[in-house]
Amino acid sequence: MCDPVAPVQASWCASPNFGPRRGGLRPSVVVLHYTAMQSVEAALERLCDPAAEVSAHYLIGRDGGLWQMVREDQRAWHAGVGEWCGLEDINSRSIGIELDNRGDHPFSEPQMAQLERLLAQILQRWSIAPEAVIGHSDMAPGRKMDPGPRFDWQRLSRLGQARATPPVSGRCLCDPDVPLGALLRTYARDLGYTSDVDDETLLTTLRLRYRPWAKGPLVAEDLAPLAQADLWF
């Protein structure tokens, strides 16, 4: 087992599960995951197991411990099948960060603080826009749920490390003759959600990110975090 070191710097714990980025691609997206495992030790063992054929560039423990398993210029095997902004092979386009979390409890303060420090370095190093920091569920809707409904996206948004949600209130000024479902798909596609999924799956995916408390059928409030602020009053 590799030992974590001080924040900002990562303990190197090499995974054999990687390869070169295809087609000369470089990182332009950051994909956040949860491990869905009982401990960080179990997650690290799996991410470095050649039989598992999975990996990530970084793993952050609940206590803020940080490990690096694959160099950023290499292609880690974390994203799998999916699409973002009409582009596939997200592994070749992204840096993957795993967070030690089962998916059914909040993310700890030390873990989130370490993630913020790491993201600040990655975004600056590769000139990645905040809008390109996404969840595994964003690029693989219906197939993946992580980092899940307990992840604090608003916290990253306030720091400029994820898409800022427009401040909106009141009612939508959209064309009343356009069905809400069509508006949802338009807004989602403009943000990068281009995977071919049904309306229910798309709504579930968007709520995971923007309205994790919401239940039931599509309502106008589901559009508010996706639309531009000037469409609302």
Active site residues: 98
C-alpha span between 94 and 36 (Å, rounded): 21
Structure tokens at 185: 């798909």
130 close to 161: Cβ distance less than 8 angstroms? yes
Beta strands 29-34; 94-99: pairing state: parallel
C-alpha span between 15 and 22 (Å, rounded): 19
With a CB cutoff of 8 Å and minimum separation 6, the contacts of 139 are 29, 31, 79, 82, 83, 84, 90, 195
